[in-house]
Structure formats: C-alpha cells, structure tokens
Amino acid sequence: MTPRTLERRALKAHSAGQTWDEFWGRNGDHVRAAEPYDVDRFHKLERRLHHLVTCGDGDLWCRGTPWLEHDKQHKEMTEAT
C-alpha cells in the first residue's frame, strides 16, 4: 500500500471519528510495509498519518482532544509498566 493511499485512509478515519489507536490497529502493518527499510521515513509517515487522523488536513498546529487523550493513555500505559 502506498503512503498516498494510507493518507487517504487516515483522512477517512478522521471524518469517521476514529481514534489513532483504532486507525493504527487496522493499518499499522500497512504503514510498516510502506517504509520497511528507512526508520526516518517510517517515522515521518507515521507522524503525518497521526496528524491526519487526529486533526484532518487543515490545522498544522492541532492539539485538540484526540492528542490530549492519546498523550494521557500513553502516560498511563508507561506508568503501569
């Protein structure tokens, strides 16, 4: 699957109100397969998709509820281990 296809899926997920975790659960393997050899390109694609899922395509500085909820869940998970 191409990065462009993944970006379209991310925008559809945003429109449908999916969380990042839901999107990643369905598409994480495709993201890893899209950039299997270059870690920097993988992380760049991952950040781009995360932004599209949580903020859509418009707001470059989005830090709304989805980001805060994801940060809270990540903090709770890391403190539990």
CA pseudo-torsion sign 58, 12, 77, 38: negative
- Euclidean distance between CA atoms 65 and 78, whole angstroms: 20
pTM attached to this predicted model: 0.71
Whether pLDDT at 13 is above 60: yes
The number of distinct structural domains making up the chain is 1
Place of tokens 């709770």: 76
At residue 62's C-alpha, the angle toward residues 59 and 67, to 5°, is 145
Q: Domain range holding 68?
A: 3-80
What pLDDT, in 10s, does the model give residues 14-73? 999 999 999 999 999 999 999 999 999 999 999 999 989 988 876 666 655 555 566 666
Residue 81, pLDDT score? 61
Minimal CA–CA distance to 64: which of 50, 74, 49, 76?
A: 50
Considering only residues 6 and 59, tell me which one the structure prediction assigns the higher pLDDT: 6
